[in-house]
Amino acid sequence: MVASGYETLRVERTGPVGWLVFDRPEAANAMDARMMAELERAWRELDADPDVRVVVNTGAGRAFQTGLDLVQLSGDPAALREQARRTRDFALRFTAWHNEVWKPVIAAVNGVCAGGGLHFVADADVVIASSDATFLDPHVSVGQASVYETIALAKKSPMEPVLRMALVGSRERVDAARAYQLGIVSQVVDPPERLRDEAQALAEKIAQHPPDRLAATKRALWNALETP
Amino acid sequence: MSYPELQTLKLERRGPVGWLINNRPERLNAMNALMREEFEVAWKVLDDDPEVRVIVHTGEGRAFQTGVDVNELATDGLGMERYRESVEKWDLHFTSWHNEVWKPVITAVNGLCAGGGFHWVADADIVIAASDAQFFDPHVSVGQVVAIEAIGLMKKMPVEAVMRMAFVGRHERMPAARAYELGMVSQVVDPPERLRDEAQALAEKIARNSPAAMAATKRALWGALETGLTEACRRGARELVSMWGHPDQEEGPRAFAEKREARWQAPSR
The alpha-carbon radius of gyration of chain A (Å, integer) is 16
Q: Is the pLDDT higher at A197 or at B80? A: A197
Strand, coil or helix: A150: helix
- For residue A3, being part of any structural domain is answered with no
Q: What does the pLDDT average to over A50-70?
A: 97
Q: Shortest CB distance from B205 goes to which of A171, A182, A183?
A: A171
pLDDT at B80: 85
Which ipTM value was assigned to this complex? 0.95
- Interchain pair A161, B202: CB under 8 A: no
Total domain count, chain A = 1
b/e code B110-136 from CB counts within 10 Å (16+ = b): bbbbbbbbbbbbbbbbbbbbbebbbbb
DSSP string, A23-72: --GGGTT-B-HHHHHHHHHHHHHHHH-TT--EEEEEESSSEEE--B-HHH
Q: B191: cis peptide before it, omega within 30°? A: yes
Interface with chain A: mutation pick from B153, B209, B235, B258, highest number of A CBs within 10 Å:
B209
Q: Which residues of chain A are within 8 Å of residue B246 when distances are taken between CB atoms?
A: 143
How far A132 CA sits from the closest chain B CA (Å)? Answer: 20
**Burial class for A75, CB neighbours closer than 10 Å (0-12, 13-18, 19+):** exposed
A81 contact partners, CB below 8 Å, separation of at least 6: none
- How many of the other CB atoms lie within 10 Å of CB of A20? 26
- Interchain pair A145, B220: CB under 8 A: yes
- Interchain pair B229, A145: CB under 8 A: no
- For residue A2, being part of any structural domain is answered with no
A228: nearest Cα among B89, B193, B225, B108:
B225
Question: Which DSSP state fits B68?
Answer: B
B255: nearest Cα among B203, B213, B205, B210:
B210
User: Length of chain B, please?
Assistant: 269
pLDDT at A29: 98
Instruction: Find, in chain B, the residue whose alpha carbon is nearest to that of A226.
Output: B228
**Burial class for B196, CB neighbours closer than 10 Å (0-12, 13-18, 19+):** middle
The alpha-carbon radius of gyration of chain B (Å, integer) is 19
Q: Which residues of chain B are within 8 Å of residue A158 when distances are taken between CB atoms?
A: 156-158, 182-184
Stated as kind and residue range, the H or E segment containing A19 is strand A17-22
For the cut 90, the answer to whether the pLDDT of residue B2 exceeds it is no
For the cut 90, the answer to whether the pLDDT of residue B269 exceeds it is no
pLDDT band of A1, cuts 50, 70, 90 = very low
pLDDT band of A4, cuts 50, 70, 90 = low
pLDDT band of B140, cuts 50, 70, 90 = very high
Report the C-alpha gap between B46 and B100 in whole angstroms: 12
Instruction: Find, in chain A, the residue whose alpha carbon is nearest to that of B187.
Output: A161
Superfamily of domain B9-207: 2-enoyl-CoA Hydratase; Chain A, domain 1 (3.90.226.10)
For the cut 60, the answer to whether the pLDDT of residue A2 exceeds it is no
For the cut 50, the answer to whether the pLDDT of residue A23 exceeds it is yes
Mean pLDDT is lowest, of A66-80, B102-116, B118-132, for A66-80
Span A87-99, pLDDT tens digits: 999 999 999 999 9
Decide: B44 and B102 in contact? Cβ < 8 Å: no
pLDDT band of A187, cuts 50, 70, 90 = very high
- Interchain pair A152, B233: CB under 8 A: yes
Using alpha carbons, list the distances in angstroms from residue A134 to A12, B140, B209.
Answer: 26, 42, 20
Q: Which residues of chain B are within 8 Å of residue A141 when distances are taken between CB atoms?
A: 208-210, 252, 262
Span B197-235, pLDDT tens digits: 999 999 999 999 999 999 999 999 999 999 999 999 999
Instruction: Give residue B134's identity as a one-letter amino acid code.
Output: Q
Mean confidence (pLDDT) of chain B: 96
Q: Which residues of chain B are within 8 Å of residue A89 when distances are taken between CB atoms?
A: 237
Domain boundaries, chain B: 9-207, 211-257
Report the C-alpha gap between B194 and A84 in whole angstroms: 45
Identify each DSSP E strand in chain B by its residue range: 9-14, 17-22, 54-59, 63-65, 105-109, 112-114, 126-130, 134-136, 174-175, 187-189
pLDDT band of A74, cuts 50, 70, 90 = confident
Residue A219 domain boundaries:
9-226
pLDDT at A147: 97
Report the C-alpha gap between A186 and A208 in whole angstroms: 20
Give the phi and the psi of residue B86 in degrees, each rounded to 5: -70, -35
What's this model's pTM, rounded to 2 decimal places? 0.96
CATH code assigned at A190: 3.90.226.10
- Interchain pair B212, A143: CB under 8 A: yes
Q: Is the pLDDT higher at B257 or at B46? A: B46
Q: Which residues of chain B are within 8 Å of residue A146 when distances are taken between CB atoms?
A: 213, 217, 220-221
- Interchain pair A160, B126: CB under 8 A: yes
How far B49 CA sits from the closest chain A CA (Å)? Answer: 19
- For residue A68, being part of any structural domain is answered with yes
Q: Which residues of chain A are within 8 Å of residue B101 when distances are taken between CB atoms?
A: none
How far A81 CA sits from the closest chain B CA (Å)? Answer: 12
